[in-house]
Amino acid sequence: MKTFYATTPIYYVNDLPHIGHIYSTVVTDVLTRYHRLLGQKTWFLTGTDEHGQKIERAAAAQGTKPIELANRVVLRYRELYRRFGIANDDFIRTTEPRHRRGVEELIRRIEAAGDLYLARHEGWYCASCETFYTEKELVDGKCPIHGEPAAWQSEENVFFRLSKYAGRLLEIYRRQPDFVRPDSRRAEVTSFVEAGLKDLSVSRTNVKWGIPFPGRPGHVVYVWLDALSNYITALGFGSDDDRRYREFWESSEGRRVHIIGKDILRFHAVYWPAFLMSAGVPVPTTVWAHGWWLRDEKKVSKSVGNVVQPDALVAEFGPDALRYFLMREMAFGQDAAFSDQAFLERYNADLANDLGNTVSRVAALCRQAFGSSPPESCDDNEVIPAWERARDSWRTAMDEYAFHRGLEAIWRFLSEINGFVVSREPWKILKEEGRSGRLSRILYASAEGVRLVAALLSPFMPTTSRKICAALGAPVKDVALDDLEWGRLPTGAPLGAAEALFPRVDTAAYFSMEGGRTMSTEKPASPATTPAADADGRISIQEFQRIRLVTGRVLEADRVPRSNKLVRMQVDLGSEKRQVVAGIANRYEPEALVGKNVVIVANLKPAKLMGVESDGMVLAATVGEAGEPSLLEVPADVPPGSAVK
């Protein structure tokens, strides 16, 4: 059987995950789900890069140990992946013993090939990139990527004979055109190697936080050699049980794909294959370098201070809306700009309107007419050729990693289904003919079209895809290649619950909220007013004490007009009465709230939600993927206005 192995970069743990990190992971998730759908045996690896100067420094700055910092950030990654529906098979941390064993074995093999030697190394070092630059590469003495001053370093290092591999690398780029994608990146790497390769220093003596270099006391392994090895150590390379390594890495039937951002192309397309060739290990099939998410034309990154936090958007709109936006908005391989405005526009137009309305319209017509999916199938209608075109364009796009075009093909098909429904006017037929055979055939064609939309969407929006299947009475299961055949929708099957997939958002109201409560964007911190949190999100007790939490008793509650989610409450805080608005209407009936003893953030700046003033915020736990609110309740005998500490 063909195997497919896909990896994300392993992320540094000096930083909390942001939209750029989650993007690489979502892409890899979509890609792996697609190959699984094709019937291939897949393996999806992600993880964290925990050694090196960058992490050593970040931990020291926070007065903590590198491993403790790593432990905390890893939890955040795992939690975010869970919320995003990321189906990785493994998560590797470079501090794990299984990784260290594999790195040691790789180095032993490189050493045996005669490719390591000791020499003095001097150069300009950027700790953020963990790489040396030449004088010429620096911009005004600063790192060309991070803009940070580079430091002069001089030490005795172990060197790897990279220069020896220039010819073989050029040969790979020429013979294996898929080795570096997109083509523009292959050209970039080719000219880099053609300009001549210098040997690479692969050990450090001024860094303690790393894997000790085998056979070189006082040296630790250079963090990039350490990190890149994760792609094979996680498969069991160099261990007693290397079956997975042989199956997914060595097999000639298999494909091995690294998804990375363009910032780390050189490491993956030059150094990594050279290390592997030296050790006698096969090179990857493809290194795919995507573009950057930008804000104000700058790469989204913590050091620039323009970080986009995915959490708020996921809590408000669910993981699939953001997965969709990321995959649709960025032409894969190019840069794209992130904005809340663009997100909401796509949400309303593509998801609420095109997708959500089509699904609910077709399911509602079936329910109205038959109480189940339509009884008669029909293999002569214009939805079928439209489907065949859509499936073919989708396959071509997916095979070329042009995910945005894959989604475009699905949306074209959706509009063709809609055109079919509108032109046949089934609501009229229902009135005039009742449950006729003609009506059944029209509705079957429409419902089957929508089921197929769900099948094509499954790698991108797994949760939504299942919800659509349930709504149409189609089996809810992992989509396989067979499911892409016309006519698989069972006739007369019971229909699932009719829930709105993507309730429309009032954009004007969203942007009228003061304080940016639900905005995805973290404003650059102003040191005077907002003490920066540590890299792992920890704050001091003094910062926590700035938040005034008090108990309050709900006196009255009613729904905010025109809103599905918002409830307005009058809350007794002991010495005063406050109006507080909360997004809890889908979980709590207003009447059931009266009398509840809750916790209120009392010193939050007032905000307007759908035009209604909210002076405070009620605390609730958010449960499950959908972030269902569950109010924090205080025992009835605690008087309103009591401080919560």
CB-nearer residue toward ligand MSP: 260 or 573: 260
Is 143 assigned a catalytic role? yes
Is 378 assigned a catalytic role? no
Q: Shortest gap between Cβ of 350 and ligand MSP (angstroms)?
A: 21
Which residue's CB comes closest to ligand MSP? 20
Q: Shortest gap between Cβ of 292 and ligand MSP (angstroms)?
A: 4
Is 21 assigned a catalytic role? yes
Q: Does 24 bind ligand MSP (CB under 6 A)?
A: yes
Is 469 assigned a catalytic role? no
How many chain residues touch ligand MSP (CB under 6 A)?
21
Q: Shortest gap between Cβ of 291 and ligand MSP (angstroms)?
A: 7
CB-nearer residue toward ligand MSP: 49 or 316: 49
Tokens of 181: 């994608």
Q: Does 193 bind ligand MSP (CB under 6 A)?
A: no
Find the binder of ligand MSP among 6, 20, 222, 410 (CB under 6 A): 20
CB-nearer residue toward ligand MSP: 146 or 161: 146
Closest by alpha carbon to 407, among 359, 346, 485, 348?
346
Find the binder of ligand MSP among 3, 4, 10, 107 (CB under 6 A): 10
H/E stretch holding 266: helix 265-266
Sign of CA dihedral 393, 394, 395, 400: positive
Which residue do the tokens 């951002």 mark?
A: 261
CB-nearer residue toward ligand MSP: 292 or 401: 292
| Active-site residue (options: 54, 99, 126, 268) | 126
Tell me the pairing of strands 293-295 and 336-337: parallel
Find the binder of ligand MSP among 5, 16, 21, 116 (CB under 6 A): 21
Alpha carbon distance 67, 52 (integer Å): 12
CB-nearer residue toward ligand MSP: 160 or 444: 160
The upper half-sphere exposure of residue 516, i.e. CA atoms within 13 Å in the direction of its Cβ, equals 9
**How many angstroms from the chain centroid is the CA of residue 639?**
44
Task: Using the rule CB under 6 A, give the single segment among 3-11, 99-107, 452-460, 510-518 that binds ligand MSP.
Answer: 3-11
Q: Does 573 bind ligand MSP (CB under 6 A)?
A: no
Contacts of 557 (CB under 8 A, 6+ apart): 567, 568, 569, 570, 590, 591, 593, 594
Residue type, 305: G
Phi, psi of 323 (to 5 degrees): -60, -45
Q: Draw the binding track, 504-543, toward ligand MSP (x: CB under 6 A; -: no contact).
A: ----------------------------------------
Is 302 assigned a catalytic role? yes
| Active-site residue (options: 121, 299, 565, 596) | 299
Alpha carbon distance 403, 58 (integer Å): 36
| Active-site residue (options: 41, 302, 404, 608) | 302
In this structure, are residues 481 and 455 in contact, taking their beta carbons and an 8 Å threshold? no
CA distance from start to end of the chain: 59
Q: Draw the binding track, 35-74, toward ligand MSP (x: CB under 6 A; -: no contact).
A: --------------x-------------------------
Find the binder of ligand MSP among 3, 4, 9, 84 (CB under 6 A): 9
Peptide bond into 182 cis (omega under 30): yes
| Active-site residue (options: 146, 164, 404, 577) | 146
**How many angstroms from the chain centroid is the CA of residue 334?**
17
CB-nearer residue toward ligand MSP: 231 or 370: 231
Q: Draw the binding track, 273-302, toward ligand MSP (x: CB under 6 A; -: no contact).
A: -------------------xx-----xxx-
Q: Draw the binding track, 121-160, toward ligand MSP (x: CB under 6 A; -: no contact).
A: ----------------------------------------
H/E stretch holding 22: helix 19-37
Q: DSSP letter at 237?
A: T
CB-nearer residue toward ligand MSP: 300 or 454: 300
Can you say whether residue 480 is alpha, beta or left, with left for phi > 0 and alpha for psi between -120 and 50 degrees? beta
| Active-site residue (options: 51, 129, 268, 290) | 129
| Active-site residue (options: 18, 35, 121, 268) | 18
Burial class (CB in 10 A: 0-12, 13-18, 19+), 605: exposed
In this structure, are residues 176 and 199 in contact, taking their beta carbons and an 8 Å threshold? no
Is 35 assigned a catalytic role? no
Is 121 assigned a catalytic role? no
Identify the bridge partners of residue 643 per DSSP, sorted by sequence position.
550
Residue type, 602: A
Find the binder of ligand MSP among 92, 228, 439, 566 (CB under 6 A): 228
Tokens of 16: 């909390």
Is 51 assigned a catalytic role? no
Beta strands (DSSP E) in 74-115 are 90-93
Alpha carbon distance 155, 153 (integer Å): 7
CB-nearer residue toward ligand MSP: 53 or 348: 53
Find the binder of ligand MSP among 3, 4, 6, 11 (CB under 6 A): 11
Q: Does 233 bind ligand MSP (CB under 6 A)?
A: no
H/E stretch holding 191: helix 183-194
Alpha carbon distance 458, 436 (integer Å): 33
Tell me the pairing of strands 567-572 and 220-221: unpaired
Q: Shortest gap between Cβ of 200 and ligand MSP (angstroms)?
A: 15
| Active-site residue (options: 35, 99, 143, 262) | 143
Alpha carbon distance 450, 319 (integer Å): 21
Q: Shortest gap between Cβ of 304 and ligand MSP (angstroms)?
A: 9
Alpha carbon distance 357, 422 (integer Å): 13
254-273: contacts with ligand MSP (CB under 6 A): 260-261, 263-264
Contact residues: ligand MSP, CB under 6 A: 9-12, 20-21, 23-24, 49, 227-228, 230, 260-261, 263-264, 292-293, 299-301
Residues with active-site annotation? 18, 21, 126, 129, 143, 146, 299, 302
